[in-house]
């Protein structure tokens, strides 16, 4: 079973496997008109947006829900699944779909990918709305709270992270049920479907090891500030969707973002954790609909 089986109620959306860099990327598309591209993060897939996008359908919008490479129903090529790999694949996907100008909506690691796409091709991005994503390198492990520090140190420890994510399926079987309120057994099955084997979960582990802490990984620690600086220079409308308490974007992160992105708009969607599209789909859809209209 794949996530395809759980999209049957999305009658308006058509699945397509797009050839990209020697593999395929799954896209769910509905509508015609101005392209709006949705990018998820770890450990989710386009399934994350299922409660949001039906409320955004309109005669002047083409909604494109992307499964990142190695995730969802996209291909699982033998690559490292570093942030730069994902950026390259999304960049090539937009070329393959012949989308010269898009509105981007992103969550979690999709945020870093979206900002990198804006950095590479500012002419391609009409607007960017984002939520709960890391955009600044962390100076050290003290930047985490105690629980997060212990968790991510273990995930980055060779052998320990493999046991947690590949063998024990930590992200799907432990993190998601704990982080998303009211997740049903069927919904959890849909999230788990793309990752039935230890090796299929390797992209999830790699994401945990891409968070830049004390300059490591060096490429990510360099890339993120450059992407944010490029966004500050560009004349592209930027929207931060703020949830409280959230998990990644708290008051300190909001202050950092508004300080580095002077033209940033901030919209509140109320109480939610990290997975905003799951916790607050209605308010999120309202905010995004208004954003895309204006």
CA distance 244 to 257: 16
Q: Which CATH number fits domain 3-139+215-293: 3.40.47.10, 1.10.1040.50, 3.40.50.1820, 1.10.10.10?
A: 3.40.50.1820
> Is 132 one of the catalytic residues?
yes
Residues 6+ apart with CB under 8 A from 240: 129, 130, 131, 249, 254, 257, 264, 265, 266, 267
Selected catalytic residue, list 108, 187, 278, 279: 108
Residue 1's pLDDT is 42
Q: Tell me what the pLDDT averaged over the chain comes to.
A: 95
Packed helices 109-120 and 83-96: angle between N→C axes, nearest 10 degrees: 60
- Whether 6 has a pLDDT exceeding 80, the answer reads no
pLDDT of residue 8: 57
d(CA 43, CA 81): 13
Query: Is residue 256 scored above 60 in pLDDT?
Result: yes
Domain ranges of the chain: 3-139+215-293
Averaged over 75-93, what is the pLDDT? 98
Q: For residue range 94-113, what is the model confidence (pLDDT) as tens digits? A: 999 999 999 999 999 999 99
Query: Which residue's structure tokens are 């789909």?
Result: 281
The mean per-residue pLDDT over the stretch 262-266 comes to 95
DSSP class of residue 123 equals T
Catalytic residue among 86, 89, 107, 274: 274
Judging by DSSP bridges, how do beta strands 125-131 and 102-107 pair with one another?
parallel
Instruction: For residue 108, indicate whether it is catalytic.
Output: yes
Res. 144 pLDDT band, cuts 50 70 90? confident
Active site residue 286: no
Of 103, 132, 187, 279, which is the active-site residue? 132
């Amino acid at each position: 079973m794949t996530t395809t089986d759980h999209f049957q109620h999305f009658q308006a959306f058509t699945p397509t496997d797009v050839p990209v860099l020697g593999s395929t990327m799954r896209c769910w598309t509905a509508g015609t008109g101005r392209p709006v591209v949705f990018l998820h993060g770890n450990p989710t897939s386009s399934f994350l947006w299922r409660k949001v996008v039906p409320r955004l359908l309109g005669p002047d919008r083409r909604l494109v829900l992307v499964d990142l490479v190695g995730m969802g129903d996209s291909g699982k090529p033998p690559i490292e699944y570093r942030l730069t790999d994902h950026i390259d694949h999304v960049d090539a996907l937009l070329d393959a779909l012949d989308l010269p100008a898009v509105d981007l909506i992103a969550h979690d690691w999709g945020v870093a990918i979206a900002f990198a796409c804006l950095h590479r091709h500012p002419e391609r991005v009409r607007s960017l709305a984002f939520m709960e994503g890391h955009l600044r390198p962390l100076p050290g492990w003290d930047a985490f709270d105690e629980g997060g520090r212990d968790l991510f140190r273990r995930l980055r420890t060779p052998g320990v992270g493999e046991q947690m994510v590949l063998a024990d399926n930590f992200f799907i079987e432990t993190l998601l049920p704990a982080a998303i309120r009211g997740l049903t057994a069927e919904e959890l099955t849909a999230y788990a479907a793309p990752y039935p084997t230890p090796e299929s979960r390797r992209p999830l582990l790699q994401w945990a090891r891409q968070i830049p802490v004390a300059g490591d990984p060096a490429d990510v620690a360099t890339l993120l500030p450059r992407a944010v600086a490029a966004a500050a220079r560009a004349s592209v409308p930027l929207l931060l969707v703020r949830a409280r308490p959230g998990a990644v974007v708290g008051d300190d992160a909001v202050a950092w973002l508004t300080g580095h992105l002077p033209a940033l708009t901030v919209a509140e969607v109320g109480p939610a954790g990290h997975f905003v599209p799951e916790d607050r789909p209605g308010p999120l859809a309202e905010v995004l609909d208004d954003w895309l209209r204006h």
